[in-house]
Structure 1
Amino acid sequence: MTTEPGPATRRRQLGRQLRELRLAAGIRTMAAAATRSGLSRATISRIESAKQTILPRTVRLLCQTYGIGAPLIDHLAKLAAESEDRGWLLAYSDTMPNWFERFVGEEAEATEIWTYEAEFVPGLLQTADYCRAVSAVSSPDVVDEEVDRRVDFRLARQKLLERATPPQLRVVVNEAVLRRHVGETAVMREQLRHLGEMAKRPNITVQVLPFSAGAHPAMTSSFTMLHFPADGGEPTILVEVDSGALYPDRPADFERYTWMFGRLRDLALSPAESMALVSRVMEEL
């Protein structure tokens, strides 16, 4: 298995390097860098936080602004070119919404994934038939071919769990996820069986937040946190909203969502108790 960093990690590394070069050049603010380079402050902010494409020519412009010459400027320009190698994502560019592309690219490079889901089984643990049922009800006018594409895309994402060194997946699901019937009974039973099988893997932990836990800090929305290697920068937080998503990225956000996930795990059943509940619900179907 390759140990080379992927595009999303390269983009994050490049953004951090450009910020360090700006500060080393004595340019303390993004506004000052914008004035000197001719770029907007917003553009520099998005580049340094890895929120947008970083073109090689933009890297050269910023390096010239910061007084950087060869060979470092050539190295950084090459890094910029490699950071946009989207690989397998290109095959599904017509399937995923624009707001989700950033997340999927970074998900593929995460070393640890934390997710709380209130309504349905997290995508990385869905069966094809369950995914098909979710897609059909969320977009009732979509044609069968498009549903099939969405299922294929979901299964392609799941391949990261089959790697020689897969990410650590920490999942908390609301009890409603188990009890809400999605698709026919056979579909739901197979999904619960699959959830139990996946939870046996050493890199996957599944806990159920029971109704008896009462009020909890994530009652407003589901969320996912992606964690990266030490040189990969801050975590990525995804909070899905109707037809879009939020990416909270302030230090206070990282602190709050880390606390929230820890609290959810404390309130949830243990992994063993959770799997026992999954089995009971499956038997009741």
Structure 2
Amino acid sequence: MPTVKPSTVLGRQLGDELKKFREAAGVTMAQAAEVLDCTKGKISRIENGHVPVRAPDLTALMEAYHVDEPEARERLAALARRANRRRREGWWHPYTSVLSDTYIDQIEMEAICESVRTYQAQLIPGLLQTEAYGRAVTVASRSWKTPEDIDRFVRVRLTRQARLTGENRFDFWAVLAEGVLRQEVGGTDVMRTQLEHLVTMAQQPNVTIQVLPYSRGAHAGMFGPYVLLSFPQMAALDLVLTETPAGNIWMEQEETVASYRAMFDDARMAALPPTESLALIQRIAKEHKP
């Protein structure tokens, strides 16, 4: 079982909020260091999400930064708890042996975000995959060697999908390149069922699916898939997750996130409207009829 460590992504969100409160209060890093009787380097590492924040230190910093609003204090405390208890209480904890750190971060972020937008060039997004399609993709990845590990990873992917249909739903918007629908994964029956599942999921009020057809030609998103996550707290930073064969990468610089927002807007504007997209998905699904 991997060592439980503070979450870098959650820690950075907490650090970003603390930095904004510190600057709004006119407190320097040196003064903040005096509050905790530590070095300026530690304050910098806290604000960059590189070290966890203990509850007493968080309380001291909130006092020094004049964070008096109960809602703001609870938000910071909740972020700290999640960052410091990474994987220990989430439903995914029993599966950490088959999950990468970045994937665990993604699950944790999905647990607290309010919307997810994604562009996919090759695969159905994990949140929309059927069990059979997800299993075929998992086997093809060659990342898991035993049937037991494959089963565990597929179970995680299916459990993640509860955020789309449960009580605490987030908004999900996917733009799929037409090739995603044409790539036959798992065979004819698996692909037909998967495409029919997309149509069913698109009936959910919080799910939007668009298809970017081949006829649209070159576009900025064709250089790789990505996921945009947004959060309900005004001060929280949106995050981008880019997906590569060598591993997934989080990006959070405001300029970078803004460029991906613009890229997604371009993709959805170029894509077919949702109704036409579903009609195309249904036509392709019928091509897989026996």
Fold-level similarity (TM above 0.5): yes
Q: Which amino acid aligns with 1:59?
A: L
Query: Which residue of 38, 43, 46 maps to 1:44?
Result: 46
Query: Which residue of 95, 105, 129 maps to 2:132?
Result: 129
SS in 1 for 2:113: coil
Equivalent residue, structure 2, for 1:116:
119
Inter-CA distance 248–82: structure 2 relative to 1 (3 Å threshold): closer
Query: Which residue of 277, 287, 290 maps to 1:284?
Result: 287
Q: Which amino acid aligns with 2:38?
A: S
Equivalent residue, structure 1, for 2:3:
none
Distance 2:67 2:279 in 1: 62
Inter-CA distance 139–255: structure 2 relative to 1 (3 Å threshold): same
Runs of at least 5 residues in structure 1 that lack an aligned partner in the other structure: 1-6
Equivalent residue, structure 2, for 1:250:
253
Q: Following TM superposition, by how much is the alpha carbon of 1:58 offset from its aligned partner in structure 2, in angstroms? A: 4.9
Select between 8-17 and 18-27 the one with higher mean Cα deviation: 8-17
Instruction: Quote the RMSD (CA, aligned, Å).
Output: 3.3
Q: Write the deviation string for residues 145-203 of structure 1: whole angstroms up to 9, x where unpaired.
A: 11100110001100111222411111100101100011121111110110111011111
SS in 2 for 1:129: helix
Equivalent residue, structure 2, for 1:54:
53
| Kept in 2: contact 1:118–1:177 (CA 8 A) | yes
Inter-CA distance 54–95: structure 2 relative to 1 (3 Å threshold): farther
Equivalent residue, structure 2, for 1:23:
23
| Mapped pair 1:180 → 2:183 | yes
| Kept in 1: contact 2:129–2:194 (CA 8 A) | yes
Select between 117-126 and 273-282 the one with higher mean Cα deviation: 273-282
SS in 2 for 1:281: helix
Quote the sequence identity (%).
34
Distance 1:155 1:17 in 2: 32
Query: Which residue of 104, 107, 110 maps to 2:107?
Result: 104
Query: Which residue of 189, 193, 209 maps to 2:192?
Result: 189
| Kept in 2: contact 1:226–1:237 (CA 8 A) | yes
Runs of at least 5 residues in structure 2 that lack an aligned partner in the other structure: 1-6
| Kept in 1: contact 2:58–2:77 (CA 8 A) | no
Q: Which amino acid aligns with 1:55?
A: R
Distance 2:74 2:128 in 1: 39
Inter-CA distance 264–21: structure 2 relative to 1 (3 Å threshold): closer
Q: Following TM superposition, by how much is the alpha carbon of 1:76 offset from its aligned partner in structure 2, in angstroms? A: 9.1
| Kept in 2: contact 1:60–1:77 (CA 8 A) | no
Distance 1:67 1:232 in 2: 15
| Kept in 2: contact 1:34–1:44 (CA 8 A) | no
Inter-CA distance 69–191: structure 2 relative to 1 (3 Å threshold): closer
Q: Following TM superposition, by how much is the alpha carbon of 1:104 offset from its aligned partner in structure 2, in angstroms? A: 1.3
Distance 2:65 2:260 in 1: 39
Give TM-score, length-normalised by structure 2.
Answer: 0.81
Distance 2:176 2:51 in 1: 32
Q: Write the deviation string for residues 126-146 of structure 1: whole angstroms up to 9, x where unpaired.
A: 000100000000117611111
Inter-CA distance 33–93: structure 2 relative to 1 (3 Å threshold): same
Distance 2:215 2:67 in 1: 62
| Kept in 1: contact 2:33–2:42 (CA 8 A) | yes
Distance 1:76 1:278 in 2: 41
Q: Following TM superposition, by how much is the alpha carbon of 1:40 offset from its aligned partner in structure 2, in angstroms? A: 3.9
Equivalent residue, structure 2, for 1:261:
264
Query: Where does 1:206-245 land on structure 2 (aligned, <5 Å)?
Result: 206-231=209-234, 233-245=236-248
Give TM-score, length-normalised by structure 1.
Answer: 0.82
Equivalent residue, structure 2, for 1:3:
none
| Kept in 2: contact 1:135–1:147 (CA 8 A) | yes
